[in-house]
Amino acid sequence: MKQYLEKLLRKEDLTLNEMKEASAYCFTSEANETELAAFLTALKAKGETPEEMAGLVEVIRAQSSQTTGTLMNVMDNCGTGGDESYSFNISTTSAFVIAGAGVKVAKHGNRSITSKTGSADVLEHLGVSLSFSKEHVEQLLDENNIAFLYAPHVHKAMKRFGKVRKELRVPTIFNLIGPLTNPINLDTQLLGVYRSDMLEALAETLHKLGRKRALVVNGAGGMDEASLAGDNHITLLEEGDITSFTLHPDDVGLPVYDNTQIRGGDSKENAAILLKVLKGEPGAHLDTVLLNAGLGIYANGAAPSITEGINQAKESIDSGAALERLQHLVSFSNKTASEAI
């Protein structure tokens, strides 16, 4: 570790293999908390590169017992968090809409960290299990188009960094790579990030991790979701090519709302919002989900344009397909819980 710390302190980037070696050491019993803190701080001070992010992600995924490459054309639409917008669970709600449109979604998430309610909090309130096995996940993706992977359950080795990250009290590389560590081998992805300066770097990281197609989004107002408050900055990865553009609600026929109109609350309140959206109740929540689900469907390649993606999202809700995906997930959770007794 000493050689890598010295290199980082000289503001020199680590190669992919160097980062994998350093990260692998961090997961061993030989690494102490001081070394972990120094490593994360040095990376933060220098600025994380795509090679460094990809290297750490590969090591984390290799530690997971649920890593699988047997599933085809699966995506995730998880954001990094950290935008402090206190919005309702936009990506979680959108995931059911995307799945209802026929796209397989391996929804990766955690409990609340920077918001009032994380994806795990709201789904647990609705009756979704946080402890699906690898076999359960594969079955759900096959028959329901959506499964939930609770980050602490699928990444048990990450506990090693928990105390250090909590005591550092500053964002580190882990605040950027969370959505990249999904143990499913994803083909496509919609990734929201609160830092607009990281759009291209994250797109390059996704390419290094094998994504065929992806959208990285920084929403209006600095959100880690697409927002109806104004211009969204988006980077598209397609077969290795990276392009960037802006998207305003007017461009896709959606109204403008201030971000204060999509604030959420505790798990009970956010669960109620999620259900209202999936039942088609008009308003800022629904339109925000239509935008994000439409972007997800487009990111997957299931729609030729963002506008068509939004149209498919509307149909997913109007037909009841999105709500059915949630109901199936809850029923499956109840079934597996009763079998475990």
Q: Is 248 annotated as a binding residue?
A: no
Angstrom distance (rounded) from CA 50 to CA 176: 11
To the question of whether residue 231 is assigned a binding role by annotation, the answer is no
Chain-centroid distance, C-alpha 236 = 16
> Residue 225, annotated ligand binder?
yes
Contact in structure between 194 and 175 (CB atoms under 8 Å): no
Is 109 annotated in a binding site? The answer is yes
165 is in an annotated binding site: yes
103-134 in b/e form (b: 16+ CB < 10 A) is bbbbbbbbbbebbbbbbbbbbbbbebbbebeb
Distance CA 13, CA 18 (A): 9
92 among the known binding-site residues?
yes
- Flag whether 266 is marked binding: no
Beta bridge mates, 68: 184
* Buried/exposed 138-167: b ≥16 CB within 10 Å, e otherwise: bebbeebbbbbbbbebbbeebebbeebbee
- 112 has binding-site annotation: yes
Burial degree of 27 (CB within 10 A; 0-12, 13-18, 19+) = middle
Say whether 224 counts as a known binding-site residue.
yes
Given a contact cutoff of 8 angstroms between Cβ atoms, the answer to whether 295 and 313 are in contact is no
Instruction: For residue 156, say whether it is annotated as part of any ligand binding site.
Output: no
- Tell whether residue 227 is among the known ligand binding residues: no
Stated length of the chain: 341
Ligand-binding annotation for 263, yes or no, is: no
Please indicate if the annotation marks 64 as binding a ligand. Answer: no
Q: Would you say 107 is a known binding-site residue? A: yes
Q: Is 341 part of any known ligand binding site?
A: no
114 is in an annotated binding site: yes
319 appears as a binding residue in the annotation: no
Q: Taking the CB of residue 33, how many other CB atoms lie within 10 A of it?
A: 12
Q: Confirm whether residue 87 is marked as ligand binding.
A: yes
Neighbours of 83 (CB within 10 A): 23
111 is in an annotated binding site: yes
Residues of the binding site for anthranilate: 79, 110, 165
Residues of the binding site for Mg(2+): 91, 224-225
Residues of the binding site for 5-phospho-alpha-D-ribose 1-diphosphate: 79, 82-83, 87, 89-92, 107-115, 119
Residues of the binding site: 79, 82-83, 87, 89-92, 107-115, 119, 165, 224-225
